[in-house]
Amino acid sequence: MSKKVFVGLSGGVDSSVTAALLKQQGYDVTGVYMKNWTKDMPGFDCPWMEDYQDAKKVALSLDIPIKIYDFEDQYRQKVVDYMIDGYKSGITPNPDIMCNQEIKFKLFLETALEDGADMIATGHYARIVDGHLMTAVDDQKDQTYFLYRMSPDSITKSIMPIGEFVKSDVRKLAQKFKLPTATKKDSQGICFIGKVGIKEFLITELGPQKPGPIVDDQGKTIGKHDGAIFYTIGQRHGLDVGGGLPYYVTGKDMEQNIVYVSTNLNHEQLWKKTLNITQFHFTYPGYDVSSKSMQVRTRYRAKLINCKLSVKGDQAIAELDDQVRAITAGQSAVFYDQGFCVGGGIII
C-alpha cells in the first residue's frame, strides 16, 4: 500500500511540481492549502484567495484531493507577533524561519499525521538524505538557511523532492506536467506580507513611531529618523541625512530612541569575526562540532565562511576565518559540514 503524503500546496510552481513528482513516484497524494494570513495591507491586497484557487486548479489537474487547514490564529501568535516583538526590542527577526519551525514542520505536520498522513511534503529547495537535512542541488535557491530549526523527527517525516533540481528544470517539469501554475511568477518578500515593505507593515500594526536623532561618530546629531525600530545594522539607504559620503547604521539605542551612523565602512560595529549565538538548535542531536572546521551562513544567500564552532547548551560561539559585514542581532547563523545542515541559532 502506497504511503499517504500531504503536500503543502501554496499555489506556486514549486509546491505544484512537488505534488506532481510525488504522484508520479506512486505516493497517495493529498494537497493541503495552509490559510495562514488573509489580512490586506494599505495598497496591497493579500493574495491568499487567488493562491488557494491556484492550488485547487493544480489539485484538479493532478486528480488529487485538496484540503484547507486554517492556521491563521496560530500563525499570528507564533510568527507575526514574534516578528513584531523582535522589532520592538531592537533586533531584526526572521519570520520565515519561525514559520517553518512552528507552522509548516510542526503544526502542519502534526495536523496532517492526525488526519491520516504518513508524511508531509513541501516545495522547499533542500534535500533530506538518510534523515539528514542537506543543501539543494541549486546553490542559488537553497533554502536550508530557513529550515535549520526543523526537529529531527520532522526531518524524517518530510519529503522535499525539488531539492534535486535547479529552478529552470522545475519550470520545465511544470510545463511537462501541464500544471496551471507553470508560468506563475515566484512570490517575493516576507512570507506573509508579500510585496509590502517591513516598514509599512510595522506602521500598519504599531502606528507611526516616535522620531529621534541620528548621531554620527563624533556624537553630533546630523539628522532625524522616523523610528529606531525601522533600522538595521549596516543599512545605508533610507537615512535621508544628505551630505557627501554615504552613512551606514552602526547601532541603535531603543530606550533613548537614537540611531548611530558612520561614514567609515570599516567601522568596528560593521564587521565581526566572532558570533555570539543563543537558542542554538541541532538538526542532528549530539552532533560533535568541536573537532571540525565548519562553515557558516549569516544571511540567506550569503557566502559560506569557514569557522570553528563551540556549543554549550543552547549557547554557541563561532570564530570565523574572515570578517563578515553587517551582522545583525535577531538574524540566524546557520552551520554546515560538507553540504549537511548541522543546525544554527539566533545572533545576539
Contact yes or no for 30/7 (Cβ under 8 A): yes
| Torsion angle in degrees (nearest 10) through CA of 183, 187, 188, 189 | 180
Cell of 124: 522547499
The whole-angstrom separation of Cα 191 and Cα 204 is 17
Cell of 266: 570599516
Cell of 193: 506580507
The whole-angstrom separation of Cα 95 and Cα 257 is 24
Contacts for 208-216: CB closer than 8 Å, 24+ residues apart: 210/257, 212/256, 212/257, 212/258, 212/259, 213/257, 213/258, 213/259, 214/239, 214/241, 214/247, 214/258, 214/259, 214/260, 214/261, 215/258, 215/259, 215/260, 215/261, 216/247, 216/260, 216/261, 216/262, 216/263
Coil, strand, or helix at residue 313? coil
**Residue 99 appears among annotated catalytic residues:** yes
Distance in Å from the first CA to the final CA of the chain: 49
Q: Given 46, 99, 307, 341, which residue is catalytic?
A: 99
Report which DSSP code applies to 103: I
Q: Helix crossing, 13-24 with 167-176: angle to 10°?
A: 60
**Residue 307 appears among annotated catalytic residues:** no
Report which DSSP code applies to 194: B
The whole-angstrom separation of Cα 84 and Cα 75 is 13
Q: Given 46, 191, 307, 341, which residue is catalytic?
A: 191
- Annotated catalytic sites, by residue? 99, 191
